[in-house]
Amino acid sequence: MIENRKAGIVLDIRQIYPSIYQVQLPLRGNPLKELNCYIVKGSKRNLVIDTAFNQEEAKNILLEALGQLDCPLEKTDSFLTHCHADHAGLLYAIKTKDNRCYTSEVDGEIVNAAHRPGYRNEGMAVSGTRMGFLELAAAHPASSNRCPQAIDFTYVKEGDRIDLGGFVFEVVDLSGHSPGQVGLYEPDKQLLFVGDHILGKITPNITYWNDDFDALGVYLANLRKVRAMDVQHMYGAHRFNVESHVERVDQLLAHHDRRLEEVRGLLRAGKQTAFEVAAGMHWDFGGGDFLNFPLTQQWFAAGEALSHLEYLRHNGQAVRAKKGPLLLYRLA
């Protein structure tokens, strides 16, 4: 571990594998508290896996860590696992004309869409949340912490290889938590970087993106794919790193089985919108009282409910109707 305090910066760099370092970047104002940023030192190139919110403290820590590890930006590329602002916010601070930023095309387009004229993300209006778009947008952490400029991404897909010298990573499709989340797998060393696909203690938020994307169904399929892989070291983006990926995948699959049964029960009881279903679901957050959650947590919870409702619809177990912007569900 390398510890350094400079100009108010608390720098904690941990070597977690030969030539691989973990740096915890603060996520101020977010219940997750920190992001696990990874820096891989290769003989040809270096690689930063995920950044954090666009916040000055996190930026200073990241840049100082790269300096301490002798990773000049012109020799250091970056890899974005997915589009969320707590991973993409600082890409601009380390992207230069001499390096690359890898991600999937679908999530790269989502990151850059926010910088196009007239951009509005109103997807969650279908859930029945009891607040307006402007109120939601102002409360969402992505509003103030997103990457402040479009990024010239290098798009990758499953099976593509990134050779750093000493590490040859294969890109793995881990979509579900986002439409195009990707991870990195080193088959010889059996290393897997999973972003938010598999986390210790907490379950990744699976939400609604659009009618054609069954986020939960895709997520569960990719969980099973990872379960079958040979993995000795798995590195996630938040909290602690999981020792047994098989055990954790089984826990997550069981969790969503319980969630689906809970949602079916709420539909039987006459709940129709995702907001109504979310209000009846069990939550560990904030004492479990959904109606007293902060606006952003209500939004995340309603999105979680909606992804389960959409899974039931895609699998023929539920049907839906539209009432204005709302989606109304009932059991098939």
pLDDT in tens, 233-258: 999 999 999 999 999 999 999 999 99
Q: Are the beta carbons of 258 and 281 closer than 8 angstroms?
A: no
Tell me phi and psi for residue 304, to 5 degrees: -60, -45
Tell me how long the chain is: 332
Dump pLDDT digits (tens) for 277-295.
999 999 987 676 888 888 7
CA distance 101 to 94: 9
User: How buried is residue 287: exposed, middle or buried, by Cβ count under 10 Å (0-12/13-18/19+)?
Assistant: exposed
Q: Which residues contact 243 (CB under 8 A, 6 or more apart)?
A: none
CA distance 277 to 265: 10
pLDDT class of 31 with cuts at 50, 70, 90: confident
Q: Are the beta carbons of 44 and 138 closer than 8 angstroms?
A: no
Q: Which residues pair with 195 in a beta bridge?
A: 236
Q: Are the beta carbons of 280 and 296 closer than 8 angstroms?
A: no
The amino acid occupying position 303 is G
Dump pLDDT digits (tens) for 34-66.
999 999 999 999 999 999 999 999 999 999 999
Q: Given the DSSP bridges, would you call strands 233-236 and 191-195 parallel, antiparallel or unpaired?
A: parallel
CA distance 131 to 244: 41
Q: What is the value of pTM for the model shown?
A: 0.92
Helix 245-268 and helix 215-227, axial crossing angle in degrees, nearest 10? 150
Quick one: CA dihedral 208, 211, 216, 218, positive or negative?
negative
CA distance 84 to 69: 26
